[in-house]
Amino acid sequence: MLDSYAAIFARRADGYCRAMAHHPQARDAEFGAVVDPLDPAARTVIDMPAGGGWLRRYLRAGVHYVAVEPAELFFDLCPQDESADRVRAAVEAVPLPDAAADAIVSLAGLHHAPDLGAIFAEAYRLLRPGGQLVIADVAAGSREDQFLNRYVHAHNPMGHEGVFLDDGTAGLLRRAGFEVLAEEQAPTPWRLGSAEQAGAYCADLFGIEGQTPAQVAAALKDIVGATDGGDGFVLGWSLRRLICRKH
């Protein structure tokens, strides 16, 4: 990861952060997808890569949150207080001791990773025996893949060439030592107030240029699928989720 991840978000983290600031609840279902499976007994949770540390607000009281993030602007936004720490590092080489966490989560940040095997091995090292790893990202060949690697790729000056989770991901996790408890396509709908808001949000989030919010919203409807009515604009987003345990 994380040379490419850090380089990408050195150039477009500001737009991503703007999207998250304007509509902080739009992706509640995504964050829930990685937080809801966590063992209630987990006391220390590492989030890697953490982006701006947005996942912290979804954790229950009493959990110590640790953000691992390589991109400077994202890292600066990550919380650091009596119940949160932050570490600026590549997720293949985290300067924390063995068995530092009860759980590790990774949400939609692995598709710029060149070596998932190395990341999974590092996650295994960081977990205590019996600890959990929960990852969720776009599934290879999905509608979300088509939107990102075709539409966004065509309208982002940096392109978008994500390498998404596929049928080989579980094997990589097992080779790292994990038991894969569940693998599924999890519905994670995004909720915005209107098509205009959804288009502007995704333009900021993904660095889309040369397209109006209406054009972006139309592409979302055509490629991913969405409803636009009394409940606002609801994008039919989903992610491949794997829930794992360290032996």
Q: What is the pLDDT of residue 3?
A: 47
Each residue's pLDDT tens digit, 153-202: 999 999 999 999 999 999 999 999 999 999 999 999 999 999 999 999 99
Total-model pTM: 0.95
Query: Which amino acid, residue 197?
Result: Q
Spatial neighbors of 192 by CB under 8 A, at least 6 apart, are 23, 26, 198, 201, 232, 233, 234, 235
Task: Please state which of the ranges 5-9, 34-38, 170-174, 243-247 shows the lowest mean pLDDT.
Answer: 5-9
Q: Would the pLDDT of 58 be above 50?
A: yes
Phi, then psi, of 130 in degrees rounded to 5: 85, 0
Does 247 score more than 90 pLDDT? no
b/e 149-169 (16+ beta carbons within 10 angstroms → b): bebbeebbeeebebebbeeeb
User: Does position 114 have pLDDT exceeding 90, yes or no?
Assistant: no
Delimit the domains of the chain by residue range.
2-137+160-188+240-246
- The answer on pLDDT for 28 being more than 50 is yes
User: In the predicted model, what is the mean pLDDT of residues 114-120?
Assistant: 93
**Spatial separation of the C-alpha atoms in residues 103 and 186, rounded to whole Å:** 19
The pLDDT-based confidence of 213 (bands split at 50, 70, 90) is very high
> What percent of the chain has pLDDT above 90?
92
- What pLDDT sits at residue 2? 37
Tokens of 189: 């709908």
- Yes or no: is domain 2-137+160-188+240-246 CATH 3.40.50.11540? no
